[in-house]
A and B are shown apart, each in its own frame.
Chain A
Amino acid sequence: MAVRTRPYEAAADAEALLDTRLVAIGTWLFLAAEIFFFAAWWFAFFYLRALNNNQAWKAPGVGPPSKGYGAVVLALALLTAVSYFLGSRQPIRTILFRLLTPVALVFAIATCLFQGYEMWHLGFGLTDGAYPSVFSGMTGSWLLQFALATAWLGSIVTQTGPAGDTVVRRQPAASFAWVLLFLGAVGVVNYILLYLVA
């Protein structure tokens, strides 16, 4: 376990200079792709709802799960995004930075757990029409992405140590805030469509 500071410093310096711009660009490109992904699901929602083939958009008795619960999940997701956004903008190693980033992680884990629970207790079967299909697919894809984002957020938190990557390479950590905000925004749209428009 030798301490090898010099080669790391040199490499980190060089990479940090390039990363600043590249990661920001890459994040926006990735989010553009994600918009198209979710847009495909929103298209499926509106399309199948408009067609209502065989009057089977929703089988009789099928409706959205508890709106209040869905709102809680959404709130947790938004709290994750907002707290991380605020935390990533703080100067490093201040109290707020050290507090907000783990808090965001806690919210993220809670979101995944609550959403997972809801998906296990939907109150309708997946074969009960097109609405259940779209609900489960849209929410499931969102949850999968949010879970991956949570894992990445976890790694960001573990790297907030004094020499951690989150500290040395700030731009990637800051760009990640946009990913969380994006997922939160998608969550809002999904909520409106799945619970309110239905």
Chain B
Amino acid sequence: MGAFHIEEADRPHIVRLLIIWVILSAIGIVGVLQINYPPYDQSIQGQDQASTLKLLTALATPVFIAVVMMVVYSAIYFRRTTRELVDGPPMLGNTPVQIAWVAISAILVLFLAVVGIATLSNENAAQLVGAPGRAIGGGQTGAGTSGEENKEIHVQVIAQQWYFTYRYADYGGVETTHLYLPVNHPVELHVTSLDIIHSFWAYQLGVKADANPGVDNIFHVTPQKTGSFQVRCSELCGLWHGNMVDSEGQVVSQSDFDTWIAQQQKDFETIAKAVPSYAPYYFPLPLVKGS
């Protein structure tokens, strides 16, 4: 079982299979590359996720075609042709082939893992821009201190049975039921819940973060295109889980956002006077996450 050699009887099959595979895979890969993958490109993170999805599909296509082709080919060319039951050739294995298969699958999988990790760290790294000195995913921050452009906006997403409330910590704790975000501005979402576990899924923005009671779950997003987005709860939260939908999320231009938030602050004035001064910056304490 040492040297790798292809038996005479195997050769025609291998040639046929290789040709079919290359042709079908080429067609398949070209086809899947044409698709516009969610979560599309409304945010930087979403775009990264969409490219990963595209890569995965492009790699999955030849794998899928290979296995299905093998099964169908076997069904056609390796079927029983005699009336009486005849045994096939006594092939017990082929070590080089087995090693090659395991090695190729390992390389594919490790490649995907590396790409995935790289994408993740890119996303995390991108958030350090504009928010120097902060650890990833932790730390309570005050906002509105430095005069940097494009510093992060902090929005607290508060889930409860069965709707979301958004609280703009940097703008006096203004609370709204629809999420408005300025384009090209990094946003740090602090997702939490008042009662049970929900999950904040902003589809077009490529954001999903579970809302746990007493926990501050931080997720970063930087919208890069104006437009609307839909928010749905994606963790079963009781009776009206299916109705926990907010279709009025909007990414708007910076000036539209400034106008809107100023109006919100004005409407919120009377309430803002009544709440303590530290209230806008409330994030659940202690800052615990799982594990």
Interface, chain A (partner B; CB < 8 A): 51-55
Contact residues, B149-181 vs A (CB, 8 A): none
Q: How far is the CA of A52 from the CA of B288 in the complex (A)?
A: 9
Q: How far is the CA of A54 from the CA of B214 in the complex (A)?
A: 8
Q: How far is the CA of A109 from the CA of B288 in the complex (A)?
A: 43
What's the minimum C-beta distance from A126 to chain B, rounded to whole angstroms?
A: 20
Contact residues, B165-213 vs A (CB, 8 A): none
What's the minimum C-beta distance from B215 to chain A, rounded to whole angstroms?
A: 9
Contacts of A54 in B (CB 8 A): 214, 286
Residues 257-291 of chain B, each 1 if its beta carbon lies under 8 Å from chain A, else 0: 00000000000000000000000000000101000
Which residue of the partner chain B has the closest CB to A51? B288
Q: How far is the CA of A51 from the CA of B286 in the complex (A)?
A: 9
A-B contact list, 8 entries, CB within 8 Å: A51-B288, A52-B286, A53-B214, A53-B286, A53-B288, A54-B214, A54-B286, A55-B286
What's the minimum C-beta distance from A55 to chain B, rounded to whole angstroms?
A: 8
Interface, chain B (partner A; CB < 8 A): 214, 286, 288
Given contact pairs A53-B288, A54-B286, A55-B286, enumerate 5 new A-B contacts (beta carbons under 8 Å). Answer: A51-B288, A52-B286, A53-B214, A53-B286, A54-B214
5 pairs of A and B residues whose beta carbons are closest in the complex: A51-B288, A53-B288, A53-B214, A54-B214, A53-B286
Contacts of B286 in A (CB 8 A): 52-55
Contacts of A55 in B (CB 8 A): 286
Which residue of the partner chain B has the closest CB to A55? B286
What's the minimum C-beta distance from B81 to chain A, rounded to whole angstroms?
A: 48
Contacts of A51 in B (CB 8 A): 288
Which residue of the partner chain A has the closest CB to B215? A53
What's the minimum C-beta distance from B265 to chain A, rounded to whole angstroms?
A: 32
Which residue of the partner chain B has the closest CB to A52? B286
Contacts of B288 in A (CB 8 A): 51, 53
What's the minimum C-beta distance from B288 to chain A, rounded to whole angstroms?
A: 5
Q: How far is the CA of A153 from the CA of B226 in the complex (A)?
A: 73
Contacts of B214 in A (CB 8 A): 53-54
Which residue of the partner chain A has the closest CB to B291? A47
What's the minimum C-beta distance from A93 to chain B, rounded to whole angstroms?
A: 56
Q: How far is the CA of A55 from the CA of B286 in the complex (A)?
A: 8
What's the minimum C-beta distance from B198 to chain A, rounded to whole angstroms?
A: 18
Q: How far is the CA of A180 from the CA of B286 in the complex (A)?
A: 42
What's the minimum C-beta distance from A52 to chain B, rounded to whole angstroms?
A: 7
What's the minimum C-beta distance from A56 to chain B, rounded to whole angstroms?
A: 10
Q: How far is the CA of A51 from the CA of B214 in the complex (A)?
A: 12
Q: How far is the CA of A55 from the CA of B288 in the complex (A)?
A: 11
What's the minimum C-beta distance from B101 to chain A, rounded to whole angstroms?
A: 33
Q: How far is the CA of A55 from the CA of B214 in the complex (A)?
A: 12
What's the minimum C-beta distance from A184 to chain B, rounded to whole angstroms?
A: 32
Which of A51, A52, A55: most chain B CB closer than 10 A? Answer: A51
Which residue of the partner chain A has the closest CB to B214? A53
Which residue of the partner chain A has the closest CB to B285? A54
Which residue of the partner chain B has the closest CB to A47? B291
Q: How far is the CA of A52 from the CA of B286 in the complex (A)?
A: 9
What's the minimum C-beta distance from B195 to chain A, rounded to whole angstroms?
A: 16
What's the minimum C-beta distance from B213 to chain A, rounded to whole angstroms?
A: 10
What's the minimum C-beta distance from A47 to chain B, rounded to whole angstroms?
A: 8
What's the minimum C-beta distance from B192 to chain A, rounded to whole angstroms?
A: 13
What's the minimum C-beta distance from A21 to chain B, rounded to whole angstroms?
A: 32
Q: How far is the CA of A186 from the CA of B11 in the complex (A)?
A: 62
Q: How far is the CA of A69 from the CA of B93 in the complex (A)?
A: 64
Q: How far is the CA of A91 from the CA of B286 in the complex (A)?
A: 61
What's the minimum C-beta distance from B135 to chain A, rounded to whole angstroms?
A: 18
What's the minimum C-beta distance from A198 to chain B, rounded to whole angstroms?
A: 20
What's the minimum C-beta distance from B147 to chain A, rounded to whole angstroms?
A: 37
What's the minimum C-beta distance from A1 to chain B, rounded to whole angstroms?
A: 60
